[in-house]
Structure 1
Amino acid sequence: MTDLHLHPLLASIVYSVLGIVLLLVSFFIFDKLTPGTLRKEILEDQNTALAILGAAFMLAVALIISAAIHG
């Protein structure tokens, strides 16, 4: 029978949840630091440039969190 190693699986789940929480918190802070609301600008006003900026910010923070967790 195959020996299932639960520690790496549990660590992956914990780090994934931690990364997602940190990403959401940093996006919330980014939303508070920018004038207006990102949701209104992106969804209602169809501001494509702001949507791209938000996506780039989320990717940058995700890369930093990933490097910090695995490094």
Structure 2
Amino acid sequence: MQNTAFTTAWRKGVIARYLTVAGATVDLTGCGDHTYYRCTGCGHGTHGVSVIERVARERAQGHAETCRALPRPTH
């Protein structure tokens, strides 16, 4: 079976995952006022600055809808 966002286990601490156009994911970690997101394709995200969870979800979903970066290799 091919590794995809649907078959790959979520890393520890991920609370939500959005699938990008090219098959990478944007993963959310943390919760409440201390939520972070990062794209596993291009690396876009909060870069250590937390935001409230609602804002993180909106930004992560918006990024996932347009990002065309391929998922980074796991090896």
Tell whether the structures are fold-level matches, with TM greater than 0.5.
no
Looking at secondary structure, tell me which structure has more strand per residue. Answer: 2
Structure of larger gyration radius: 1
TM-score (norm 2): 0.30
Looking at secondary structure, tell me which structure has more helix per residue. Answer: 1
